[in-house]
């Protein structure tokens, strides 16, 4: 399936990842009236640009906006190295500006995706293919356009809603509530035209919209509706969860580790929507930024990596449940040779040229007087718990330093956990497949898979902590903390010389200044 995406992206001619202000571009395509898309291969090639754009920035700049702005991930400097103009400090301390590189890149990425979807819809509408084929294709594209718009609404709040190609007039900013209503309507409109997952079509529709993807996205929207619109929709969230849970083709995989291995793919039973990656689909560089360089030989490769990114001690302290296999997704303490299946042997790993066992300190001690800088000695390099969730890909090469691990966007465990939270927030528990699913029942299914002890009487804070354990580094921490009113919670590090900006307006990112300059119909978010 990954190779299909590569082929699609290479056959189609990109119109480009245009920002929402650069929409008066010509329709650039290999397709002319005599060879409009007709066959399945034609349509796959045409749609490939949507998915190649999605993968290009999801696992690095988009992920950084969602995770480096929280306690879940931190990319400190090491004696000035890896500071990159302070952009990671700005995310950590909520001091970003409207010209932050990620703020600009992701605005253009998201609306470039919307623009590509609109361009493809215009081409398909002009195609001589059957009405059924055109309708099915347009439903897929509209679902992806809704996903792009959701990412933009979640990050930027008040956004333009662009539905035509080419665009006749510069689009104006719409309220977040209006964007929510539009995305909801789009998803509901295409739902019946999308396929439901079966064992027979799991590979064909892997990484593409299905009914379950729409249900999961709507559930995410309804769970956050109080934040997005001011009106709670927890009962609706439960209904969307049940629509997924009734499909027996989705189930929790027996081994948590399998979900994130380099060879993950359509065989993972709980994946609802994932972004495929491999050495030819760029975008996944978790090993490059999040692994610990001195362990490369022990894990079967030898590539120069960053030593910078880790998690905060405060976040790692949540991984304290006896027997919980999710704790093994972090590298902390004395290091041992891996056993190849997510565990470890008893053979120590030594710092190169020494007989000193590598020891990763689960702490971060900043250099006095220097902003978010750990120093660059062996000892300071060894501070900071590293992530092993997206297990290192042994086929990684120096030239690209890419991972082949597909990155889940929606999976069944999230559907279950969101349902549990909606119930705790006031929705009624429901019965699915003969089972009354209370919050405890749902959470304990996930804990059982992880090998963690069962919980009785889980509360909202306990559920937030459980989400931290289950979904670490999956791009949802900012979303969760804002919903729980904890996005402004400080977690100072020793010798910290900077303070977090606690302005609640930072729950939204700013519209890039250059976009407003090009399009005066865009209105800046409050506080910027």
Question: What was the pLDDT predicted at 1?
Answer: 45
Residue 86: count of CB within 10 angstroms of its CB: 16
Per-residue pLDDT 10s for the chain (528 aa) are 454 444 444 334 333 334 454 444 344 445 555 567 778 888 888 899 999 999 999 999 999 999 999 999 999 999 989 999 999 999 999 999 999 999 999 999 999 999 999 999 999 999 888 999 999 999 999 999 999 999 999 999 999 999 999 998 999 999 999 999 999 999 999 999 999 999 999 999 999 999 999 999 999 999 999 999 999 999 999 999 999 999 999 999 999 999 999 999 999 999 999 999 998 898 999 999 999 999 999 999 999 988 889 999 999 999 999 999 999 999 999 999 998 777 899 999 999 999 999 999 999 999 999 999 999 999 999 999 999 999 999 899 999 999 999 999 999 999 999 999 999 999 999 999 999 999 999 999 999 999 999 999 999 999 999 999 999 999 999 999 999 999 999 999 999 999 999 999 999 999 999 999 999 999 999 999
Do 331 and 295 touch, CB atoms closer than 8 A?
yes
- The residues with which 437 forms a beta bridge, in sequence order, are 430
Instruction: Please report, to the nearest 10 degrees, the dihedral formed by the alpha carbons of residues 96, 102, 108, 111 taken in order.
Output: -80
**Check: CATH 1.25.40.10 for 199-276+406-487?**
yes
Kindly write down the DSSP assignment for every residue of 370-406, as one continuous string: STTB--SSHHHHTBSPEE-SS---TT--TTT------
Pairing mode of beta strands 359-360, 333-334 = antiparallel
pTM of the complete model: 0.94
The separation between the first and the last C-alpha atoms of the chain, rounded to the nearest angstrom, is 43
Distance CA 214, CA 167 (A): 27
Structure tokens at 133: 């084929």
Distance CA 46, CA 123 (A): 9
Question: What was the pLDDT predicted at 465?
Answer: 98
Question: What was the pLDDT predicted at 2?
Answer: 54
Q: Using omega within 30 degrees of 0 as the cis cutoff, is the peptide bond preceding 166 cis?
A: yes
Question: What was the pLDDT predicted at 315?
Answer: 98
Distance CA 315, CA 319 (A): 8
Of 135, 84, 108, 140, nearest to 20 by C-alpha is 108
CATH 1.25.40.10 in the chain: give the residue spans.
199-276+406-487
Question: What was the pLDDT predicted at 129?
Answer: 86
Task: Provide CATH code, domain 32-194+502-522.
Answer: 1.25.40.390
Distance CA 467, CA 483 (A): 13
Residue at token pair 């999801």:
58
Structure tokens at 243: 């629509």
Do 117 and 148 touch, CB atoms closer than 8 A?
yes
Question: What was the pLDDT predicted at 32?
Answer: 56
Distance CA 145, CA 193 (A): 15
């Amino acid at each position: 399936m990954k190779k299909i995406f590569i082929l699609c992206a290479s056959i189609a001619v990109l119109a480009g990842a245009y920002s929402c202000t650069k929409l008066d571009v010509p329709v650039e395509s290999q397709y002319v009236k005599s060879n409009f898309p007709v066959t399945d291969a034609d349509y796959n090639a045409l749609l490939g640009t949507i998915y190649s754009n999605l993968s290009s920035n999801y696992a690095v700049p988009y992920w950084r906006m969602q995770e480096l702005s929280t306690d879940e991930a931190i990319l400190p400097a090491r004696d000035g190295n890896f500071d990159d103009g302070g952009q990671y400090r700005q995310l950590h301390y909520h001091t970003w500006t409207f010209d932050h590189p990620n703020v600009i890149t992701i605005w253009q990425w998201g609306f470039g995706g919307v623009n590509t979807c609109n361009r493809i819809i215009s081409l398909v509408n002009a195609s001589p293919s059957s009405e059924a084929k055109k309708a099915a294709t347009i439903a897929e594209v509209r679902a992806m356009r809704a996903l792009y718009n959701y990412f933009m609404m979640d990050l930027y709040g008040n956004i333009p809603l662009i539905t035509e190609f080419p665009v006749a007039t510069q689009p104006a900013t719409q309220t977040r509530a209006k964007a929510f209503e539009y995305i909801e309507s789009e998803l509901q409109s295409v739902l019946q035209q999308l396929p439901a997952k079966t064992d027979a079509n799991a590979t064909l529709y892997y990484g593409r919209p299905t009914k379950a993807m729409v249900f999961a996205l709507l559930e995410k929207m309804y769970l956050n509706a109080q934040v997005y619109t001011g009106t709670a929709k927890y009962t609706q969230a439960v209904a969307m969860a049940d629509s997924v849970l009734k499909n027996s083709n989705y189930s929790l995989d027996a081994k948590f580790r399998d979900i994130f291995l380099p060879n993950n793919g359509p065989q993972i039973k709980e994946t609802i929507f994932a972004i495929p990656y491999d050495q030819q689909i760029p975008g996944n560089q978790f090993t490059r930024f999040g692994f610990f360089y001195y362990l490369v030989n022990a894990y079967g490769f030898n590539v120069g990596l960053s030593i910078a990114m880790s998690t905060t001690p405060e976040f790692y302290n949540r991984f304290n449940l006896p027997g919980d296999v999710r704790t093994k997704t972090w590298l902390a303490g004395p290091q041992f040779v891996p056993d190849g299946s997510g565990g470890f042997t008893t053979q120590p790993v030594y710092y190169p040229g020494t007989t000193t066992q590598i020891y990763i300190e689960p702490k971060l001690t900043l250099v006095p007087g220097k902003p978010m800088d750990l120093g660059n000695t062996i000892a300071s390099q060894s501070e900071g718990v590293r992530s092993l969730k997206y297990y290192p890909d042994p086929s990684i090469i120096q030239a690209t330093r890419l991972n082949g691990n597909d990155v889940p966007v929606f999976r069944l465990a999230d559907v279950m956990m969101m349902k549990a939270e909606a119930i705790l927030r006031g929705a009624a528990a429901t019965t699915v497949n003969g089972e009354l699913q209370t919050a405890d029942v749902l959470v304990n299914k996930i804990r059982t898979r992880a090998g963690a002890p069962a919980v009785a009487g889980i509360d909202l804070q306990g559920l937030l902590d459980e989400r931290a354990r289950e979904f670490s580094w999956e791009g949802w921490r900012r979303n969760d903390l804002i919903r729980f009113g904890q996005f402004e919670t400080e977690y100072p590090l020793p010798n910290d010389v900077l303070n977090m900006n606690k302005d609640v307006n930072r729950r939204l990112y700013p519209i890039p200044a250059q976009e407003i300059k090009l399009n005066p119909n865009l209105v800046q978010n409050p506080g910027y």
